[in-house]
Amino acid sequence: MMMKSYAVDNTKRHAAVRRRVTPVMAIVMILAVQLGAVVSADVDPENTRSETVYAVLENDGTYSGATVVNCFRQSGEIVDYGDYMSIENLMGAESPRVDGDKITWPALATEGNDTFYYQGETQKALPFDVSITYCLDGIETAPEDIAGKTGALTIEITVENLAGTGETDELTGRGIYTPFAVSVSLTLDNSVFEIVDIPDNATSVLAGSSYTVSYSSFPLPAETFSFTLRGENIELEPINIVALPKSPPGLDSYGDFIDLDGMSEGVDEMISGADDMQQGTADLLDALCEMENAAKQLKSGLDDIDSGAASLADGADEIAANARLLAESAGEFYAGMSVFAASFEAYDQGMELLYTNVLEMAETLGDLNDAVALINSGVAGLGGGLDGVSVSNAELKELADLIAATYPADTNAAALATGLQAQQTAVDALASESGGLETLSSGTAAGMQSFYTEFSTTFSASVLSLRTASAALYATCLELLDGAGAIDTGCGALSYALGGLSDGADDLGDGTGDAADAMPELIDALESMIDGVEELQQGLLELNDDGLKEMKNGFDGLDGYLAALSEQAEQYGSFMDERNAPVSTVQFILKTEGINLG
């Protein structure tokens, strides 16, 4: 077999071996060490054969061959099996008969002895592999280069079980191997070495000037034993490794140390909790996806609002400009209405004065009518008082002229003046002709009565109607003025409000724009959260399926798995040939060459 190199690949192989030690196997190894798994062969009276394999390994663990010592507790002819390069009788001079791998010892060889021994040399591969590395002050160093050095020395011994059946346990998912109880021990000169670090479950015993450090375990499929020492002028005695097929202790052996039922129930609760967490993360993921969709919709809505706000601001600006024009027009209209209302107020006051004058004139005409009636009644005695009549008629004439001048469009007033003129003429004529005075007086009275009646009824009623209409029109004008004032005020308020609306639309646009700009960052954050939750969900799935459920299967199937290992251990009775196994036991005793100054 070729020498092993000290390249990086060797270190990687050790790391790979260590990674294959699963939680279930760790439990088996820890429990075995806690109960003090002693590496020794049990003596079974039915086993009439034992096999001890001795090998000297190179300091890096390289194996090149072994010496197998076979012991028989029987007499008579012995038949054994094995492929040996050479065979030696350790009890006498007799030689066996060798037929291929069948070895027959004659009865004479065992005569007179309760126990018979023979040995053979073989290069058959061991059922496990040993690899040893040395690091001096943190640097991997070939063993031959360590002798005489001083520093921190770390020794890593990796034992890998190669006796797998190729089968897999259904519950634990682990391969089934022939279990070997392996013990590694080092003897250290305490004048050369100081122990820095050894495995937690290793033992260190000081006997005289030497420490003996030992560690036992079941490599299923592999385990690394690591020892860190500080040495001066280093020399190292051989490393001893003893291994034998041995069943790991059953679970019922650990009741005083570990509550496996409680541990199994705890794993059940952890699985249930992991299931709940998976459901919770699924719900959280759904909620985050909904939030992401809502955020995207919100982003689209904000973009629309931003665009609409810009249009609203433009429209509000245009409306505000028109409202300002309307307010200016309303102000001008109100100012015009104010002037019109003032003018109409003067007109209404004139109508009031006219109506008052008409009433006074009607009263005066009544007096005049009464006077004419008196004149007419006194016509009979006119003769003696014609001079007085002439004077009175002249006064009436003056009054009629005044009325006609006051109301030039009134035909009655003109007629009255004309009648009085005629009366005056008549009076004058009476003065010369008194015969027609009575006729004239009667006509004048009738005309006066007609004019008075017309003036005091029809004309006065017309003036009253005009006055009433003027008052109503003036009241309407005042209402219109109030309305114009309200329009002016409202247009001003509208203009101001539209200005605020425009400013608000601008602020809304700025706000929605800022919000829309911030939405991508929010969406990115939600997407990151979704990615994180998906990773968490995947991690929980792996924890549950690959971790907790595997651990649960390990607890539930540990008894069965240990039983399968025990069966393999019981069946492994011979290193050289399985035909020896039913009545045989086997153990391996290995040691390295040791590191010396030479």
3-state DSSP of 294-315 = HHHHHHHHHHHHHHHHHHHHHH
Vertex 160: Cα angle to 154 and 162 (nearest 5)? 165
Q: Which domain does 217 fall in, by range?
A: 1-41+127-258
What is the dihedral sign for C-alpha 100, 104, 109, 115? positive
Average pLDDT estimate for 562-575: 86
pLDDT at 145 over 80: yes
Cβ(6)–Cβ(140) under 8 Å?
Answer: yes
CA atoms within 13 A on the CB side of 496: 6
Show the beta-strand stretches assigned E in 201-250.
203-207, 210-217, 222-231, 240-245
Q: Which residues, at least 6 apart from 423, have a Cβ–Cβ distance to it below 8 Å? A: 393, 396, 397, 440, 444
Residue 115 lies in a domain: no
Q: Is residue 373 part of a domain?
A: yes
Q: Is the pLDDT of residue 531 over 80?
A: yes
Q: Are 597 and 245 in contact (CB under 8 A)?
A: no
Flag whether 59 is in a domain. Answer: no
Distances (CA, A) of 385 to 300, 377, 380, 433, 448: 115, 13, 10, 14, 21
Neighbours of 453 (CB within 10 A): 13
Query: pTM of the predicted model, to two decimals?
Result: 0.49
Say how far apart CA 413 and CA 370 lie, in whole Å. 17
Query: Does 170 lie in the same domain as 291?
Result: no
DSSP-derived letter for residue 247 is: P
Residue with tokens 């027959």: 104
Residue 20 maps to which CATH number? 2.60.40.2960
Query: Residue 379: its pLDDT value, please?
Result: 65
DSSP line for 428-465:
HHHHH-GGGHHHHHHHHHHHHHHHHHHIIIIIHHHHHH
- The closest alpha carbon to 84, from 97, 103, 71, belongs to 103
Contact partners, residue 571, CB within 8 Å, separation at least 6: 178, 578, 581
**Neighbour-count burial for 270-294, b at 16+ CB within 10 Å, e otherwise:** bbeebeebbeebeebbeebeebbee
The terminus-to-terminus CA distance of the chain in angstroms comes to: 25
Q: What is the pLDDT, as a whole number, of residue 213?
A: 93
Q: Give the model's confidence band at 113: pLDDT under 50 very low, under 70 low, under 90 confident, else very high.
A: confident
Cβ atoms of 228 and 151 within 8 Å: the answer is no
Q: Which of 233, 258, 283 is the last residue of a domain?
A: 258
Say if residue 465 is in the same domain as residue 451: yes
What are the strands, taking DSSP E only, across 246-396? none
State yes or no: pLDDT of 156 exceeds 90. yes
Confidence label for 124 from pLDDT (cuts 50, 70 and 90) = very high
Domain shared by 247 and 275, yes or no: no
Which contacts (CB < 8 Å, 24+ apart) does range 506-514 have? 506/309, 506/313, 508/305, 508/309, 508/312, 509/306, 509/309, 509/310, 509/313, 512/302, 512/305, 512/306, 512/309, 513/306
- pLDDT tens digit sequence for 308-355: 878 877 887 888 788 788 778 878 888 887 888 888 788 888 878 888
Q: Mark whether 274 and 247 lie in a shared domain.
A: no
Residue 51 forms part of a structural domain: no
Q: Please enumerate in sequence order all residues whose Cβ is within 8 A of that of 148, keeping only pairs 6 or more positions apart, or say none.
A: 233, 234, 235, 597
Kindly state the average pLDDT of the residues 30-58: 63
Q: What would the pLDDT profile of 80-108 be if each residue is shown by its tens digit?
A: 999 999 999 999 999 999 999 999 999 99
**222 and 274 both lie in a single domain:** no
**13-31 pLDDT, tens per residue?**
333 333 333 343 333 333 3
Q: Tens digit of pLDDT for each residue in 197-250?
A: 988 888 988 888 898 999 999 998 999 999 999 999 999 999 999 999 988 776
Higher-confidence residue of 27 and 277: namely 277
Q: Is 89 helix (H, G, I), strand (E, B) or coil?
A: strand
523: Cβ–Cβ under 8 A, 6 or more apart, which residues?
292, 295, 296, 299
Q: How far apart (Å, rounded) are the C-alpha atoms in residues 55 and 67?
A: 6
Residue 591 lies in a domain: no
Overall average pLDDT of the 474-493 stretch: 84
C-alpha closest to that of 39 among 215, 168, 167: 215
Per the CB < 8 A criterion, the answer to whether 80 and 105 are in contact is yes
CB 55 within 8 A of CB 63: yes
pLDDT digit string, tens, across residues 421-463: 887 787 777 667 655 666 767 787 788 788 788 877 887 888 8
Whether residue 144 lies inside any domain: the answer is yes
Average pLDDT for 170-192 = 89
The answer to whether residues 397 and 417 touch, using CB atoms and an 8 Å cutoff, is yes
Same domain, 289 and 370: yes
Asked if pLDDT for residue 58 goes beyond 90, the answer is yes
270: which 2 tokens? 């952890």
List the one residue out of 95, 59, 118 whose CA is nearest residue 236.
59
Distance CA 474, CA 454 (A): 29
Give the strand pairing for 203-207 and 210-217: antiparallel
The tokens 């008549």 sit on which residue?
Answer: 426
How many domains does one find in the chain? 2
In the predicted model, is pLDDT for residue 497 greater than 60?
yes
User: What value does the mean pLDDT of the chain take?
Assistant: 81
Of 258, 291, 312, at which residue does a domain stop?
258
In a domain, 89, yes or no: no
- Whether residues 296 and 237 fall in one domain: no
Statement to judge: residues 223 and 279 lie in one domain: no
Q: Identify the pLDDT of residue 160.
A: 96
The predicted structure's pLDDT at residue 10: 34
DSSP 521-554: HHHHHHHHHHHHHHHHHHHHHHIIIIIIHHHHHH
pLDDT at res. 383: 61
Does 301 share its domain with 316? yes
Among candidate residues 183, 50, 121, 80, the one with its CA nearest the CA of residue 573: 50
- 238, 258, 278 — which closes off a domain? 258
144 confidence band (pLDDT: 50, 70, 90):
very high
Residue 157 lies in a domain: yes
Residue 212 near residue 186 (C-beta atoms within 8 A) = yes
Query: Distance between alpha carbon 297 and the CA centroid of its chain, in Å?
Result: 16
Please determine, for residue 184, whether its predicted confidence score (pLDDT) is greater than 90.
yes
Picking from 87, 117, 84, 86, the residue whose alpha carbon sits closest to that of residue 101 is: 84
**31 and 154 belong to one structural domain:** yes
d(CA 341, CA 351): 15
222 and 291 part of one domain: no
The long-range contacts involving 330-339, CB below 8 angstroms and separated by at least 24 positions, are 330/484, 330/487, 330/488, 330/490, 330/491, 331/488, 331/491, 333/484, 333/487, 333/488, 334/481, 334/484, 334/485, 334/487, 334/488, 337/477, 337/480, 337/481, 337/484, 338/481
Q: Where are the alpha helices (DSSP H) in 8-129?
A: 8-19, 23-34, 107-110
400 phi/psi in degrees, rounded to 5? -65, -40
Indicate whether 168 and 282 sit together in one domain. Answer: no
